[in-house]
């Protein structure tokens, strides 16, 4: 196993057995096809000058000594640069990276190098304390017993430094669940996390932002600025949106409100913000499917299909209301599936008397108690005239009890 720390600072010996300099850096070339990026050469210090040594003329990379297969005449060759040329010393070593497999942010202690199909390549990143001790020159068998080696394959990492390749990194990150990305984001500094959020598409970024811890969410929204934050938040469900607004100082939430993409959203957010966040009114979302008693099953199914583009639209139940908006009953999806297409809602809905509902001023605990007692996945929120204001789903309640998950 060859480590970058044993190459850095190594003596460079040419074919005439003369010491020509010291290794100061190694460059790699990243490309998407190859799992392990090849080393394209080393930069050495030769007579106080930086000199690029291409990989082809390096016979042995180390450890401790780099041997070349010809003589060096000192002509300085241009140091290659470009978007996919990465300096291991300046852009990778000691930097923070995202470990996609372990889903956390770590610091690069050392790099492992090896031959892959005859080409010297970067294989893995060492994030272990062992790597740290090796760098400090304190590596010894007895100390190594305490810390396990921890290598992360290059393909499983995502550099955080925004100067390099965040786009490829972000693509890999996107394969994770939004909640897991949120956990990673909570570990980054604001600079890194807002860059990362911006590199994602808006819908994903919105779902990630929803999952981030409230305190960090607040900071993130602030650092994104009202304009960009509103763009993301337009993709969120209204109740999540309101949750964020309530975290922010008044003038900032107004700023965002003004910039929300659609007016209907703006209106419902405004309405929801009037409720205290610990009450049913504050917990609820205004996004639900409501139908009239005379609507047929077929029509309802069409309506559900038309809301599919909105992924956060809770559609486990449809709510039956009359022309005045008064709550009449609720129909679970299961019933819709087994009913015949021509049946009307009033035939298959659970009656108002039997269906449990809450008032907007109920506190969190009573909502949770009711939902637990009657095993409800969602519950309708009514005003004093029995008009339906919104619904609370079980995940909204769970979030209140386990805020940091």
Q: Which residues bind other proteins (CB under 8 A)?
A: 93-96, 104, 106-109, 127, 129, 132, 135-136, 186-187, 189-192, 216, 219-220, 222-223, 246, 273-276, 404
C-beta closer to other proteins: residue 106 or 368: 106
For the bound state, the minimum distance from the C-beta of residue 342 to other proteins, rounded and expressed in Å, comes to 47
Q: How far apart are CA 368 and CA 376, in angstroms?
A: 10
C-beta closer to other proteins: residue 182 or 291: 182
CB 370 within 8 A of CB 358: yes
C-beta closer to other proteins: residue 222 or 266: 222
For the bound state, the minimum distance from the C-beta of residue 205 to other proteins, rounded and expressed in Å, comes to 17
C-beta closer to other proteins: residue 186 or 239: 186
Task: Find the helix or strand (DSSP H, E) in which 371 lies.
Answer: helix 364-373
For the bound state, the minimum distance from the C-beta of residue 226 to other proteins, rounded and expressed in Å, comes to 13
For the bound state, the minimum distance from the C-beta of residue 39 to other proteins, rounded and expressed in Å, comes to 20
C-beta closer to other proteins: residue 222 or 387: 222
Q: How far apart are CA 401 and CA 405, in angstroms?
A: 10
Query: Minimal CA–CA distance to 42: which of 1, 83, 17, 13?
Result: 13
Q: 190-199 and 178-187 helices cross at what angle (nearest 10)? A: 150
Q: How many CB atoms sit inside 10 A of residue 333's CB?
A: 13
Q: How far apart are CA 113 and CA 39, in angstroms?
A: 9
For the bound state, the minimum distance from the C-beta of residue 127 to other proteins, rounded and expressed in Å, comes to 6
For the bound state, the minimum distance from the C-beta of residue 106 to other proteins, rounded and expressed in Å, comes to 5
Any residues with CB less than 8 A from the CB of 101 and at least 6 apart, and which? 152, 156
CB 50 within 8 A of CB 90: no
C-beta closer to other proteins: residue 250 or 309: 250
DSSP character string of 220-287: HHHHHHHHHHHHHHTTS-HHHHHHHHHHS-HHHHHHHHHH-S-HHHHHHHHHHTTS-TTBHHHH-BS-
Any residues with CB less than 8 A from the CB of 136 and at least 6 apart, and which? none
Tokens of 295: 């609507």
C-beta closer to other proteins: residue 229 or 318: 229
Query: Minimal CA–CA distance to 318: which of 330, 336, 334, 335?
Result: 330
For the bound state, the minimum distance from the C-beta of residue 33 to other proteins, rounded and expressed in Å, comes to 30
Tokens of 196: 């990362």
C-beta closer to other proteins: residue 156 or 315: 156
DSSP character string of 181-218: HHHHHHHS-HHHHHHHHHHS-HHHHHHHHHHS-HHHHH
Query: Minimal CA–CA distance to 188: which of 153, 212, 214?
Result: 212
C-beta closer to other proteins: residue 249 or 311: 249
For the bound state, the minimum distance from the C-beta of residue 319 to other proteins, rounded and expressed in Å, comes to 26
For the bound state, the minimum distance from the C-beta of residue 219 to other proteins, rounded and expressed in Å, comes to 3
């Amino acid at each position: 196993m060859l480590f970058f720390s044993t190459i850095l600072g190594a003596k460079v010996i040419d074919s005439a057995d003369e010491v020509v300099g010291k290794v100061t850096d190694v460059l790699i070339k990243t490309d998407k096809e190859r799992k392990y990026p090849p080393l394209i050469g080393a930069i050495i210090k030769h007579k106080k000058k930086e000199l690029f040594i291409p990989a082809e003329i390096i016979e042995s990379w180390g450890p401790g000594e780099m041997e070349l297969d010809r003589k060096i005449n000192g002509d300085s060759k241009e140091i290659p640069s470009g978007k996919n040329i990465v300096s291991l010393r300046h852009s990778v070593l000691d930097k923070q990276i995202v470990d996609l497999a372990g889903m956390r942010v770590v610091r690069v202690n050392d790099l492992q190098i090896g031959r892959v199909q005859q080409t010297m390549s970067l294989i893995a990143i060492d994030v272990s304390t062992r790597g740290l001790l090796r760098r400090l020159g304190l590596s010894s068998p007895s100390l190594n017993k305490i810390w396990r080696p921890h290598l992360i394959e290059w393909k499983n990492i995502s550099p955080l430094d925004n100067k390099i390749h965040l786009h490829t990194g972000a693509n890999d990150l996107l394969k994770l669940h939004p909640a897991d990305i949120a956990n990673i984001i909570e570990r980054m500094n604001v600079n890194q996390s807002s860059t990362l959020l911006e590199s994602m598409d808006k819908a994903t970024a919105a779902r990630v932002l929803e999952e981030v811890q409230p305190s960090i969410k607040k900071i993130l929204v602030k650092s994104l600025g009202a304009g960009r934050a509103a763009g993301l938040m337009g993709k969120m469900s209204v109740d999540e949106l309101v949750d964020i607004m309530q975290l922010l100082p008044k003038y900032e939430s107004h700023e965002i409100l003004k910039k929300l993409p659609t007016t209907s959203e703006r209106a419902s957010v405004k309405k929801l913000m009037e409720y205290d966040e610990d009450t049913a009114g504050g917990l609820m979302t205004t996004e639900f499917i409501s139908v009239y008693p005379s609507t047929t099953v077929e029509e309802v199914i069409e309506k559900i299909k038309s809301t599919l583009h909105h992924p956060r639209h809770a559609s486990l139940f449809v709510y039956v209301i009359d022309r005045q908006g008064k709550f009449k009953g609720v129909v679970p999806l299961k019933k819709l599936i087994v009913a015949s297409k021509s049946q009307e809602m009033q035939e298959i809905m659970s009656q108002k008397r039997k269906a449990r509902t809450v008032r907007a001023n109920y506190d969190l605990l009573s909502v949770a108690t009711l939902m637990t007692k009657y095993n409800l996945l969602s519950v309708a929120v009514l005003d004093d005239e029995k008009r339906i204001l919104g619904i609370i789903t079980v995940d909204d309640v769970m979030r209140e009890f386990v805020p940091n998950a």
